[in-house]
Amino acid sequence: MAKHQTKGKGQRGGTWHANKGENLTFSFHVNPAALHVSHSFRLNMLICLGIQYALRQYGLQTLIKWPNDIYAGDRKIGGILIENRLVGEYIQASIIGIGINVNQLHFPPQLVKNATSIRLENGRTDTIVIEECCIDLLYELLRYYQLHDIQDTEALRTSYNANLYRRGIPSKFAVQDQEVIGTIQGVDLEGKLAVLLQQGLQRFDLKEISFLI
């Protein structure tokens, strides 16, 4: 766990902004059992669902913004980055990096409309102790991880899709530098995002589509 992360990484080469000492940034290690690299999105789904489960102890109902951001309403409260070590075609080990906004009440102008924190969402007036928050969330997350079968793709996908941000709601996206209107249908077995566009249903991988929020 870092009290102040100066080089936080995000998806697609993005960065993670966190005020010093106010938020939770930590990583932990797991060894997924016999997980083929082609099924790596199962781990992503399981961790996202586990974070949602863990955040409930703070009174938060959250959604997953594909592929790995956690949203409270229309604002980001957390993000995940997973890095895997492979042996042949199987994942031997995974480092799960997680950032959760906890005590931060003020964000930079470019983030103020799109970011939130546990305290902003649940209205707590006292400062949450970051070390205790880390232990609590990690305990609940690992409990969720141990109780669910990472090999059961359909069960994970059903839960993930049921908690998917803006699923079934017409939304703006950028596709090949063009603004389009589409409706998220869910993710497929490979973790691609299925979006209903004017020309029909299309599936997108990372970097092929982005939200315009």
The overall average pLDDT reported for the chain is 93
Instruction: Specify the pLDDT at position 213.
Output: 73
Q: 46 and 151 share a domain?
A: yes
**The pLDDT of residue 48 is above 80:** yes
The answer as to whether 26 is a domain residue is yes
Q: 153 and 193 share a domain?
A: no
Report the domain count for the chain. Answer: 2
Instruction: Specify the pLDDT at position 5.
Output: 78
Mean pLDDT across 129-136: 96
Q: 64 and 142 share a domain?
A: yes
Helix (H) or strand (E) holding 186: strand 178-187
The answer as to whether 3 is a domain residue is no
Q: What's the domain range around 205?
A: 170-211
Q: 73 and 142 share a domain?
A: yes
Instruction: Specify the pLDDT at position 3.
Output: 83
Contact 130, 3 (CB under 8 A): yes
Q: 145 and 108 share a domain?
A: yes
* Confidence tier at 58 by pLDDT (50, 70, 90): very high
Mean pLDDT across 153-173: 97
Q: 115 and 77 share a domain?
A: yes
Mean pLDDT across 28-53: 95
The answer as to whether 5 is a domain residue is no
- Distance, in Å, from the CA atom of 109 to the CA atom of 45, rounded to the nearest integer, reads 31
Mean pLDDT across 44-66: 97
pTM to 2 decimal places: 0.93
Q: 124 and 200 share a domain?
A: no
Find, among 51, 43, 55, 49, the residue nearest to 82 by Cα: 43
Q: 154 and 182 share a domain?
A: no
